[in-house]
Amino acid sequence: MEPSSSSSSSSSSSIRLTTIRQIAINVKDVERATRFYRDTLGLKFLFAPPGLAFFDAGGVRLMLSRAERTEFDHPASILYYKVDDIAGTHRELVEQGVKVEEEPTLVAPMPDHDLWISSYRDSEDNHFALMSEIPRA
């Protein structure tokens, strides 16, 4: 069966995407990146077929790989990892020599919590960030 397209812009789609299952992260050196994501960030290592490495990030699978084609050889999208203690996690990353792009910063005071963000670079120079929703007293 071939994919179909609708020529009518007024029809509603039955497509309903719900969950991100896997995210690919471009890396230059899979072994170096594997050590960073496993040993520095503490993500659960799943498996590593040749040239790839897979991790579990709270039910979303991260795939580390070299770009398959030159048009894909660019930094990854910024991934925001949820942490309970952004200040403590930030200190640990600094102690491990992780490059800091942005110190923990309050970005949005919400009615019932404060949203804090900090950002970093991984071993492959990709941006990643921490996000913490701190409940108000």
Q: What is the mean pLDDT of residues 24-38?
A: 97
pTM equals: 0.81
Tens-digit pLDDT profile for residues 111-129: 999 999 999 999 999 999 9
Homologous superfamily (CATH) for 22-135? 2,3-Dihydroxybiphenyl 1,2-Dioxygenase, domain 1 (3.10.180.10)
Task: Tell which residue, 37, 16, 35, has the closest CA to residue 79.
Answer: 37
* pLDDT of 8 over the 80 cut: no
DSSP element (H, E) containing 88: helix 86-95
DSSP element (H, E) containing 31: helix 30-35
56's tokens: 């579990």
CA angle 119, 120, 124 (to 5 degrees): 145
